[in-house]
């Protein structure tokens, strides 16, 4: 059970830092609380008493969304649901709506935030691989200044991040990728409301004829201590002609990325299938020439 004496909802970032200073050593920052509440309620942490909860989800700066031609800046308190509702996000972050569809359910999606997902740093977090594929950087602030860190450097391992005492995540800044085709493949113990056993974010840009991979970005989670890019496969595809044979070839590349202690063979099979399906789906959405793709795709990989 979670016991708390005071629940503070600061209206500005400086109010939040003032509350953090006032309650130093006695507070926990929360946003949607969708990780914090089950952690306490299910007794995983025993009975938890946190004297002060500081809820940063109402701070306007943490809810901003800005996009220019090159970058998207997302406030840390952006709820996952926004990836389904905001057309600009759908266009500039093409794998995200597909990730959001598989993320929890309507109620959790409305509260779960981007900042909470990355600070919780689960090896199976769904948003992190998508953001890593966008070369995301994390913007961090204290009362005295700001710094920025690549997301792959911020996420250090299961439950571990580079967040320091007195720091808040204010925003995520990532590449805007309009014109890319996106895909998000996920499997878990059940069909819905589950943490991923394996998930894969795929972003593909093709040439104007839909025949050559101009760019490929792949990031995986659930199978290694922290989500990561599959750079070897990305490199093997860049500048290469799209063909079924090439997709089969990269899906067969050795995958030492699977480091889970259990069900390694199963996970390797899943990763192979996800690579094929994810690349095909993303290529189709990027405008692939249909003759370059496996004709039996719908039955084999859909
Ligand atoms: C039923 C259910 C289904 C779920 N399904 C999924 C799923 O499909 N995929 C998935 O990835 N996750 C899932 N989750 C986990 C959870 O919803 C996400 O990790 C969510 O993004 C967490 O965000 P939050 O704002 O609710 O985090 P909170 O619980 O509020 O916070 C989590 C952590 O982040 C810290 N924090 C939050 N915001 C900030 C900030 N701005 N600065 C510094 N620290 C901060 C908190 O101190 C805490 O340590 C599920 C959870 C539940 C209960």
The verdict on the CB of residue 32 being under 6 Å from ligand 1 is yes
85: Cβ contacts below 8 Å, ≥ 6 apart: none
As its CATH architecture, domain 181-301 has 2-Layer Sandwich (3.30)
Residue 292 Cβ < 6 Å to ligand 1: no
Please count the other Cβ atoms lying within 10 Å of the Cβ belonging to residue 21: 11
The answer, yes or no, to whether any atom of ligand 1 lies below 6 A from the CB of 169, is: yes
Closest residue to atom 40 of ligand 1, CA basis: 169
Task: Please state which CATH number belongs to domain 60-175.
Answer: 3.30.465.10
User: In sequence order, what DSSP letters do the residues of 241-262 get, joined into one string?
Assistant: BP-HHHHHHHHTS--TT---SS
pLDDT tens digits along 244-282? 899 989 988 767 777 767 777 788 888 899 999 999 999
- Asked whether the predicted pLDDT for residue 190 surpasses 60, the reply is no
Does 297 have pLDDT greater than 70?
Answer: no
Query: With a 6 A CB cut-off, is 185 part of the ligand 1 pocket?
Result: no
pLDDT in tens, 208-227: 999 999 999 999 998 888 88
Q: Is the CB of 67 under 6 A from ligand 1?
A: no
Query: What are the φ/ψ torsions at residue 144 (nearest 5 degrees)?
Result: -105, -5
Whether the per-residue pLDDT at 110 is higher than 60: the answer is yes
Q: How confident is the model at residue 58 (pLDDT cuts 50, 70, 90)?
A: very high
Minimum CA distance residue for ligand 1 atom 21: 117
Q: Which CATH architecture has domain 2-55?
A: 2-Layer Sandwich (3.30)
Say whether pLDDT at 191 is over 60: no
- The per-residue pLDDT for 91 is 97
At residue 126, the pLDDT reads 94
For residues 69-78, give the mean pLDDT.
Answer: 97
38 Cβ closer than 6 Å to some ligand 1 atom: yes
* Closest-CA residue to 96 (of 71, 63, 60, 129): 129
Name the average pLDDT for the chain. Answer: 91
CB under 8 Å to 291, separation ≥6 — which residues? none
Q: pLDDT class for 285, splitting at 50, 70, 90?
A: very high
pLDDT at 41: 73
Q: Is the CB of 28 under 6 A from ligand 1?
A: yes
pLDDT on residue 30: 98
Ligand 1 atom showing the smallest separation from residue 102 Cα: 8
| Pocket of ligand 1 contains residue 108 by CB under 6 Å | yes
Indicate the pLDDT class of residue 44, thresholds 50, 70 and 90. low
Predicted confidence at residue 100, as pLDDT, reads 96
Question: 142-146, 156-160, 196-200, 255-259: which has the minimum mean pLDDT?
Answer: 255-259
Q: Which of 8, 34, 196 should be mutated for ligand 1, with most atoms under 8 A from CB?
A: 34
Alpha-carbon distance 137 to 129, whole Å? Answer: 13
CB 248 within 8 A of CB 237: no
Provide the residue ranges of all domains of the chain, joining segments of one domain with +.
Answer: 2-55, 60-175, 181-301
């Amino acid at each position: 059970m979670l016991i708390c004496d005071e629940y503070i909802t600061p209206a500005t970032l400086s109010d939040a830092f003032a509350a953090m200073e006032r309650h130093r050593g006695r507070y926990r920052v929360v946003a949607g609380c969708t990780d914090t509440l089950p952690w306490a309620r299910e007794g995983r942490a025993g009975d938890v008493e946190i004297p002060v909860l500081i809820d940063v989800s109402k701070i306007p700066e943490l809810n901003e969304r800005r996009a220019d031609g090159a970058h998207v800046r997302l406030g840390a308190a952006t709820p996952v649901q926004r990836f389904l509702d905001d057309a600009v996000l759908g266009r500039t972050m093409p794998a995200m709506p597909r990730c959001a569809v598989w993320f929890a359910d309507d109620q959790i999606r409305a509260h779960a935030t981007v900042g909470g997902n990355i600070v919780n740093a689960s090896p199976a977090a769904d948003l992190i691989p998508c953001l890593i594929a966008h070369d995301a950087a994390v913007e961090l602030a204290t009362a005295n200044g700001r710094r920025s860190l690549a997301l792959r450097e911020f996420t250090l391992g299961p439950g571990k991040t580079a967040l320091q005492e007195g720091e808040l995540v204010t925003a995520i800044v990532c590449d805007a990728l309009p014109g890319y085709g996106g895909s998000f493949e996920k499997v878990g113990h059940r069909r819905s409301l589950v943490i991923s056993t394996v998930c894969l974010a795929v972003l593909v840009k093709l040439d104007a004829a839909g025949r050559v991979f101009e760019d490929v970005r792949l990031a995986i989670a659930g199978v290694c201590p922290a989500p990561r890019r599959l750079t070897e496969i990305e490199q093997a595809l860049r500048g290469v002609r799209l063909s079924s044979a090439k997709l089969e070839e990269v899906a067969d590349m050795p995958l030492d990325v699977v480091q889970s202690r259990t069900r390694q063979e199963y996970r390797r099979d899943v990763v192979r299938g996800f690579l094929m399906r994810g690349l095909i789906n993303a290529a189709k959405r990027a405008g692939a020439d249909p003759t370059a793709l496996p004709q039996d795709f719908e039955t084999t990989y859909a």
